[in-house]
Structure 1
Amino acid sequence: MSGKEVNDYLTEGMYGTRLPKEEERKKYLGTLRERIVLALTVGQVMSDKGIDKLEDAMKENKGAKLLINGHVSSRFLTEEKALANKYNIPYTIITDETNETDIGAVLAFDYAVDKEDIFVKEIQKEDESNIKDEKNNSLFSKVKKWFK
């Protein structure tokens, strides 16, 4: 027999048709990475840190759709839903009980756009820690000068 074996037909009947890049689909709320314009982590969605970037991406990509992680409480999603309604972008809440992902929301198309950088970088935390380090170093250096 060429092509599919009997076991392949049985497996497909029991578990459904196997999708290409299944692990990638589980991570990105059912879509492929090549289709994504912008992806926000659960933490960014809950704290609204990437909301400005999301709004900019929605302005530029009118034909996109918003996929939202259903494991995030709905009280944290009001800003994202309001933006989607404002720019007439359909949104879907994806709740997959068998898979967990750290992705909170994804703005994506139904076709490939191959955007290289899809994540919002958390620059604020790095800048704050650098400022704290500079303050600590300067305070430490002042105290150190007193004892010289």
Structure 2
Amino acid sequence: MNKKLDDYLQEGIYGAKEQHPEERRLFLGTLRERVELALTKGQVIRQTPYEINMALQKNVKMLLNGDVAYSYLSPYIKFANEKNISFTIVQNEKGNSPFGLVLTHDQAVDTTDIYIRDEIFHAEIPTTLQ
């Protein structure tokens, strides 16, 4: 069987091949190169929500982890609505991401440091990702 036909059949049976699936699971469905800011679950559930105005640029989208209780996501959803930012609550059945909120773009922005490196971050994120 020729390669193109085999690929077509495999895609029909199993769906399109996903590029960088581990990275996408980690960052709630997007790629690291597109991320402007990522907050851990612990950072999202802290009593005082983070001020994320500094990370807002045009065409940013907010991804929220569906594993986090809605009551903790609510201040960020309210903020997104006030700033006209689209958001999606991501149910990540295939993986358990440590991130609770990701601000992302449709294209690569290659932001150097996407984390707020506080005590919560260091307690939750393995040193390999820091």
Note whether the superposition's TM-score is higher than 0.5. Answer: yes
Q: Which has the larger radius of gyration?
A: 1
Higher relative contact order (CA 8 A, sep 6+): 2
Task: Indicate whether 1:100 and 2:108 are aligned.
Answer: no
Task: After TM superposition, give the deviation of residue 55 of structure 1 in Å.
Answer: 2.5
Q: After the TM superposition, which parts of structure 1 deviate over 6 Å for at least 4 consecutive aligned residues?
A: none
Q: 1:125 to 1:11 in 2, by over 3 A?
A: closer
The count of residues paired between Structure 1 and Structure 2 equals: 122
* Unaligned 5+ runs, structure 2: 123-130
Is the 1:62–1:89 Cα contact (8 Å) retained in structure 2? no
RMSD of the alignment, in Å? 2.2
Higher helix proportion, which one? 1
With structure 1 as the length reference, what TM-score do the two structures score?
Answer: 0.73
Question: 1:15-54 maps to which residues of 2 (within 5 A)?
Answer: 15-47=14-46, 51-52=50-51, 54=52
Alpha-carbon distance between aligned partners in 2 of 1:9 and 1:123, rounded to the nearest angstrom: 48
Q: Gaps (5+ residues) in structure 1?
A: 127-148
**Are the structure 2 counterparts of residues 48 and 33 from structure 1 closer, same or farther at C-alpha, using a change threshold of 3 Å?**
farther
* Mapped partners of 1:32, 1:80: distance in 2: 21
Task: State the match for 1:4 in structure 2.
Answer: 4
Q: Aligned match of 1:90 in 74, 86, 90?
A: 86
Find the counterpart in structure 1 of residue 75 from structure 2: 79
Q: Quick one: distance in 1 between partners of 2:49 and 2:73?
A: 12
Cα distance in 2 between the residues matched to 1:50 and 1:37: 17
